[in-house]
């Protein structure tokens, strides 16, 4: 499995390209932390995570996949571009808190990345042309 980075992601210009780069195509109900959910709950409520989360949101201007014009108004997530495990959290792996491996996403985009359903992803504006009389 390749390591996804913000540097590489930022070189991709379109929403679709960025989504394809991040897509995991997991399955619904796939266990991540199981009965040890307390581990990720403690982590996501920590000061360290909250600080990094704020930094990433500001860096990405609160936009889905960091793309201008895809502002997120509700359901904002900071997504680990490379899946993390409970061992990563328990052993303090640096990449868990490194902005180079994080991106701002909407809830719909987050779910599509994990479960592969791109049908609910936001689409860019419709390009209008002279003489175009059809409404959206």
The domains of the chain are located at: 6-28+36-118
Residues contacting residue 117 through CB under 8 Å, at least 6 positions apart: 111
pLDDT higher than 90, residue 73: yes
- Read off the pLDDT of residues 78-87 as tens digits, 9 standing for 90 and up: 999 999 988 9
How many Cβ atoms sit within 10 Å of the Cβ of residue 134? 6
d(CA 77, CA 60): 12
74 vs 54: CA distance, rounded Å = 15
Q: Please tell me the predicted confidence (pLDDT) of residue 1.
A: 67
pLDDT in tens, 90-110: 999 999 999 999 999 999 999
């Amino acid at each position: 499995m390749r390591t996804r980075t913000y540097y590489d992601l930022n070189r991709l210009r379109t929403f679709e390209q960025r989504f394809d780069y991040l897509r995991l195509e997991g399955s619904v109900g796939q266990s991540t932390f199981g009965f040890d959910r307390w581990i990720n709950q403690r982590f996501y409520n920590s000061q360290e995570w909250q600080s990094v989360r704020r930094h990433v949101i500001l860096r990405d201007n609160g936009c889905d996949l960091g793309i201008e014009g895809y502002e997120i108004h509700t359901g904002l997530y900071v997504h680990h571009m490379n899946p993390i495990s409970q061992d990563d959290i328990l052993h303090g792996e640096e990449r868990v808190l490194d902005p180079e491996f994080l991106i701002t996403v909407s809830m719909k985009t987050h779910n599509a990345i994990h479960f592969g359903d791109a049908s609910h992803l936001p689409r860019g504006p419709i390009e209008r042309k002279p003489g175009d009389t059809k409404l959206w």
